[in-house]
Amino acid sequence: MARRQARTVGTSIALAAGMTVALFAGSAGAEQLSDATTDPITIGHRASAGLAPENTLAAVELVKEQGPDLFEIDVQLSSDGVPVMMHDATLARTTDVEEVFPGREGDLVNDFTYAELQQLDAGAWFSERFAGERIPTLGEILDHGYHPDLGIVIELKNPADSPGLVDVVVDELNSDPRWNELAADGRLTAISFDLDAVRDFHELRPDIPVMGLGGVPQSDAELEAIAEWATSWGTNYRTLDPADVDRVHEAGLLLNVYTVNSPAHMEYVIDLGVDMVTTDFPGVLVDLLAGAEPIPDANGVVISDAVGDAPGDDLQPEHGEHVVLTNTTDRPVNVGGYYINDAVINTLVVGRGYLIPAGGELRVYTGPGTNVRKPGDSRFYNDFGRAVLNNGGDSVALFTPDDTLVDIYAY
């Protein structure tokens, strides 16, 4: 990353100013930011989803310390019309809904009143360290996320399940002058997979740039039509055809890619010349762009492989899906109690007392098997009843028992 200038807080502000031009200037902006030698805009996904429970105020507080240009959050409506932060259609993965409202874990977010949603814990599922986090409103996100160097990306999530979502969000933006300050600075964007919703938003607030999400449309005419109202397009980098980077730019759109979590994959998308990178680990991306060590507490134990799609059944005894840890140092390292989170925070642990000799490996399995501790064949089995690593690509992050991030690997 030597070709990029190290960024200070000052240059970060300059980038935000540049972004104003880019986000509002249509194709001229795309030309400005499409050069692969220019740093992309950095976006914290669900605020800071790799290190704190997604879409919570804890994740917003953390993203302010990490220094990306913007952070993204997902907005839906409660049944009584309050804009609340939640990614999934249901509350099952990221709250304790099963205990608080038994039998309603399959209900939609939008089936719960705001008062009911406030009874849920939205942090303990991630870690007991975050127990007590509540589901925030869009107004609370502004209260906690408003910061001179930071912008906000509002995803209109599942609008079909939240009738009136666009109007409610626009009302919220009209209700507090700080939103207008963000908009005037080019630090506010609305995005959605639902192109009708994000286009409706654009009609109501044409001063705020919008982004469509999804696979890159394969018709140039369709891309050009989108560029009539959208400023950018956001897509999954794993399915992005590198040739489509130029197609998106030629249509006059900026290109955002999500969710790019490992330093190696960050380098890959930056070299493609994308304009914005969305990541669960915004601090890692910011440090990488600055030419600093992207994982400052790396200790030489790395994730050298992850097999999400094992030949045969992912949960077959002894040989199912697994992550490989390698000790690249010249001394043994005790990795007992280390843990590995995937992108949606399924957690694989390493048993107590496991040492990896210098240069050695340990395979950490999701499913069942017989634990083995011997040099050259060291294995630990989590004995889960379900596979967790995505077969089509995932990211896995390695933490020490005291929650220090030491590596991120993506496949």
Does 213 sit near ligand G3P (CB under 6 A)? yes
CB neighbours of residue 314 within 10 Å: 22
Give the separation between CA 295 and CA 284, rounded to whole angstroms.
Answer: 6
Distances from the Cα of 42 to the Cαs of 53, 79, 380, in angstroms?
19, 33, 36
- Which CB atom, from 72 or from 287, has the smaller least distance to ligand G3P? 72
Q: Using CB under 5 A, pick the residue from 74, 88, 275, 314 that binds Ca ion.
A: 74
Residues 100-139 contacting Ca ion, CB under 5 A: none
Does 194 sit near ligand G3P (CB under 6 A)? no
Q: Which of 216, 302, 208 is nearest to 258 (CA)?
A: 216
Does 314 sit near Ca ion (CB under 5 A)? no
- Put the strands of the sheet holding 405-410 in their side by side order: 347-349, 339-342, 395-399, 405-410
- Which CB atom, from 155 or from 275, has the smaller least distance to ligand G3P? 155
Residues 34-63 contacting ligand G3P, CB under 6 A: 45
Does 278 sit near ligand G3P (CB under 6 A)? yes
Beta strands 355-356 and 333-334 are antiparallel
Stretch that binds Ca ion, among 70-78, 143-151, 259-267, 301-309 (CB under 5 A): 70-78
- State in angstroms the smallest separation of the CB of 318 from Ca ion: 37
- State in angstroms the smallest separation of the CB of 76 from ligand G3P: 11
With a CB cutoff of 8 Å and minimum separation 6, the contacts of 134 are: 56, 57, 118, 120, 121, 122
Report phi then psi at 250, rounded to 5: -65, -25
Site residue total, ligand G3P (CB under 6 A)? 9
Q: By the 8 A CB rule, do 338 and 400 touch? A: yes
- State in angstroms the smallest separation of the CB of 74 from ligand G3P: 6
Q: Using CB under 6 A, pick the residue from 72, 96, 194, 280 that binds ligand G3P.
A: 72
3-state secondary structure of 270: helix
Long-range contacts of 105-111 (CB under 8 A, 24+ apart): 108/161, 109/76, 109/78, 109/84, 109/158, 109/161, 110/76, 110/77, 110/78, 110/79, 110/158, 110/161, 110/162, 111/79
The binding track of 172-211 with respect to Ca ion, each residue x by CB under 5 A or -, is ----------------------------------------
Does 155 sit near Ca ion (CB under 5 A)? yes
Stretch that binds Ca ion, among 108-116, 127-135, 152-160, 345-353 (CB under 5 A): 152-160
- Which CB atom, from 155 or from 172, has the smaller least distance to ligand G3P? 155
Q: Using CB under 6 A, pick the residue from 179, 258, 380, 384 that binds ligand G3P.
A: 258
The binding track of 102-141 with respect to ligand G3P, each residue x by CB under 6 A or -, is ----------------------------------------
Q: By the 8 A CB rule, do 361 and 326 touch? A: yes
Half-sphere exposure of 165 (CA within 13 A, CB side): 27
The DSSP secondary-structure symbol of 311 reads S
Distances from the Cα of 155 to the Cαs of 152, 198, 300, in angstroms?
10, 9, 37
Residue type, 150: L
Q: Which helix (H) or strand (E) holds 135?
A: none
Does 234 sit near ligand G3P (CB under 6 A)? yes
Does 237 sit near ligand G3P (CB under 6 A)? no
- Tally helices (H) and strands (E) across the chain: 13, 20
CB neighbours of residue 404 within 10 Å: 14
- Which CB atom, from 29 or from 234, has the smaller least distance to ligand G3P? 234
Residue with tokens 């697994």: 322
Stretch that binds Ca ion, among 60-68, 149-157, 194-202, 332-340 (CB under 5 A): 149-157
- State in angstroms the smallest separation of the CB of 263 from Ca ion: 22
- Which CB atom, from 223 or from 257, has the smaller least distance to ligand G3P? 257
Does 74 sit near ligand G3P (CB under 6 A)? yes
Does 159 sit near ligand G3P (CB under 6 A)? no
Does 369 sit near ligand G3P (CB under 6 A)? no
Query: Residue 200 binds which entry of ligand G3P, Ca ion, none, with Cβ cut-offs from 5 to 8 Å by kind?
Result: none
Residues interacting with ligand G3P, by CB under 6 A?
45, 72, 74, 87, 155, 213, 234, 258, 278
Residues interacting with Ca ion, by CB under 5 A?
74, 155
